[in-house]
Amino acid sequence: MSASALPEAAGQDPVLFHEIPARGGRRIGVATLNSPQTLNGLSLPMCRLLEARLQAWAADDGLVAVVLNGAGGKAFCAGGDLHALYRAMLESPADDAWANVTARAFFETEYRLDHRIHRYSKPVLCWASGIVMGGGVGLMLGASHRIVTGATRFAMPEVTIGLYPDVAGTWMLSRLPRGIGTFLAFTGAQLGAGDCLHYGLADRVCDAGGLDALLAALAATDWSADPAGHAAQVDVVLDACQTPEPEPGPLQRHADGIRRACDRADFLEIAAAVAAWKDDSDPWLARAAATFLAGSPGSARLSHTLLARARHQSLAETFRMEFTASLHCCAEPDFREGIRALLIDKDKTPRWNPATREQATAQWVQRFLAPLGPVGRPHPLADLGP
């Protein structure tokens, strides 16, 4: 069965699982996010299904590699299930972040899933074609083989909804060349295949219509008996499937100016430098500045703070930090207001609080780092390995 036939074969299942026979009695596991009407937005049930199946596949000696992809052709995964989080925020006490049981379950499950992919014992190929944002970035980042196409639109636009780049986004962005990660967090600027490849956010570029051919090539591979060699065998398959390296993208073209503007310690200086691009002759830079200016000042400050901390943390430490910050976001007003303005009332006029960058002070942002839960209770992600 071809990859393109999978969604129709399994109806409304939120994630489709399929195993492709390969040579030597081996098999390739394929997991397809199957909610194209929401651009494969990642829900709690989807996270639970993926976590359970990846755990089972990890223990299956006959399963040699996993392929993640999204149904519908438009997106791999455009983010998380914001509607469910919005309902949970309305139903939970505004002054008690720990009381939001739905948010606790979602972020713990999602972050455990992302961490599992980062540390998975077998090759994970992420076919990141189309829109890749938010929760989709979390699934993609940890894959051993991250594949983009000419249709890829990669971004972390959480500043527009009062959140910040979570799913280890702070860990990833803090490890880009200085200033680059801050710019992407502040502006939600979209990247194509060229920039993703150049900055190490992707490993290969393939044709957007090439997933079926890739799966066929994996099935035709004579897998070695030694699992330690499987990643190298995937590399050989991808060598044959990849397309020529794309032209440099806008992030590469503007990298020097972005570093000069954003590689600074002072939050307000960076903000002023980014805002100054609002009338730039390059539409990509002007759009980035416009998104920043319309976004949540508090989100920008929070991103700035968390990136500085994540730069010195392990992956597991970052997930624990983000879990705490994300729950606090669910209790603070901006995340709820951002979802309302974008997805509920759709008036696109959020009323941010704090309303200005000057009001989003270094002291104000400390509330997002405060420990949560009963005193003495272990952190929900305390058991994550490094």
Render 4-22 in DSSP notation, one character per residue: GGHHHHTTT-SEEEEEEE-
DSSP-assigned states of every residue in 38-98:
GTTPBPHHHHHHHHHHHHHHHT-TTEEEEEEEETTSSEEE--B-HHHHHHHHHHS-TT-GG
* Whole-angstrom distance, CA of residue 51 vs CA of residue 110: 9
Q: What's the pLDDT score for residue 11?
A: 54
Q: What's the pLDDT score for residue 88?
A: 97
Q: What's the pLDDT score for residue 203?
A: 98
Q: What's the pLDDT score for residue 95?
A: 85
Is 0.85 topped by the overall pTM?
yes
Residues of the chain with pLDDT under 50: 1-10
Please provide residue 363's backbone torsions phi and psi, each rounded to the nearest 5 degrees: -75, -40
Looking at CATH, the fold of the domain delimited by 3-369 is given as: 2-enoyl-CoA Hydratase; Chain A, domain 1 (3.90.226)
Q: Where are the beta strands (DSSP E) in the chain?
A: 15-21, 27-33, 63-70, 75-77, 124-128, 131-133, 145-148, 153-155, 204-205
List, for residues 99-135, the tens digit of each pLDDT value. 999 999 999 999 999 999 999 999 999 999 999 999 9
Domain boundaries, the chain: 3-369
Count H helices, E strands: the chain?
17, 9
- % of the chain residues with pLDDT over 70: 97
Q: Are strands 27-33 and 75-77 parallel, antiparallel or unpaired?
A: unpaired
List, for residues 260-296, the tens digit of each pLDDT value. 999 999 999 999 999 999 999 999 999 999 999 999 9
Q: What's the pLDDT score for residue 94?
A: 84
* Whole-angstrom distance, CA of residue 160 vs CA of residue 2: 37
